[in-house]
Amino acid sequence: MHRLFVGLAVATLLAGCGGTKPVDPVNLLMAPYTGDVPGASLLVIKDGKAVLDRSYGLANLEDDDETKPATNYRLASISKQFTAAAILLLAEQGRLKLDDPVRQWLPSLPETTSAVTLRQLLDHTGGLVDYEDLIPPGTTGQVSDNDVLSILSATPKTYFAPGTAYRYSNTGYVLLGLVVERASGYSLPLYLKQQIFQPLGMNHTLLYESGGPEVDDRAYGYSEVNGQWTRTDQSVTSATRGDGGIYSSVEDLAKWDAALYDNRLLSDASRKLAFSPHVKVTGEPYEASYGYGWRITGDTLWHSGESIGFRNVIVRWPKQHLTVILLSNRNEPEPYRTALEIAKPWLQEP
């Protein structure tokens, strides 16, 4: 990323010499995504309006499908804010309580997890073991949510006493997705569709499951291997749901962003819970606290999403009514700092 910003400075300097046309700074920042390569969709929203909406590169290299605002990317861990919202909605509906022990809903979990609550899973203070580290060597089939539950049910070990520390946990959000199903009586994809996506008009967003509805305008993930782009769309852990299985576009995420300013979906109290700093983030390369499905840094609410072949970020400045969404179908570059750089002109406005 350092090379990117050096390139920006050099190009700006060159543009000022010899009367050449000034380089668009956003396009320069997005240059890695440009051309016949895995691409990205970028949206900047200011005061409820799209002030910058651009797409770069290809969603499918094999078919030369160009990206567009309606292209749907695997959100990876950005999905966690939707799982958290589902839990908060069920709490509002009286179907569960945030301080319920997770074993109340998933009784097969070992006795060592008896003090772990849903609230602690939401902010990554549950201390449960990472399921990725428990997958048997040589596993080739995709691991399901129920597989994760089975693995955890046979694992008495925990990292720490619940509520005493922070450790980012995909395990916790997989289990929260299963709790949504137990508490609602609906499958997780259907609950999200009926209670979140459809009410907000996110009509092309879905929690993807093999054998279920196909993803419209789907971007496929790629990784650069020995200088060549290789499709790496799925891995052993790509079938789990509550921690990262949603596909969406910048178009639909604009509707999600709008709903986070008022009570059309979540109550004021639920949004305050989601956006409050419950614990300091540790073991990650950013200064942040964690809410429920959101990292909190200064005035920003944000979350990244990384899965094999996808790198995404959504960054919100609620006080300034500014949001940057950057979704990409490639393993690099990391988009968070790019999004912060893109936001600067709007943050500097009086």
Active site residues: 77
Q: Alpha-carbon distance 251 to 45, whole Å?
A: 11
Long-range contacts of 113-121 (CB under 8 A, 24+ apart): 113/152, 113/158, 113/162, 115/161, 115/162, 115/163, 116/162, 117/162, 117/163, 118/87, 118/176, 118/179, 120/162, 120/163, 120/172, 121/169, 121/172, 121/173, 121/175, 121/176
φ and ψ at residue 6, rounded to 5 degrees: -60, -45
Q: Alpha-carbon distance 274 to 86, whole Å?
A: 11
Taking residue 272's Cβ as centre, other Cβ atoms within 10 Å add up to 11
Both tokens of 220, joined, read 């496929």
**Exposure string over 99-114, b if 16+ CB within 10 A, otherwise e:** ebbbbbbbeebeeebe
SS3 of 58, please? strand
Count of CA atoms in the C-beta half-sphere (13 A) of 241: 26
Count of CA atoms in the C-beta half-sphere (13 A) of 243: 24
Q: Alpha-carbon distance 349 to 252, whole Å?
A: 26
Q: Beta strand 322-328 with 40-46: parallel, antiparallel or unpaired?
A: antiparallel
Alpha-carbon torsion (197, 198, 202, 203), positive or negative: positive
**Exposure string over 127-143, b if 16+ CB within 10 A, otherwise e:** bbbebeebeeeeeeeeb
Backbone region of residue 64 per phi and psi (left: phi > 0; alpha: psi in -120 to 50; beta: other values):
left
Taking residue 256's Cβ as centre, other Cβ atoms within 10 Å add up to 23
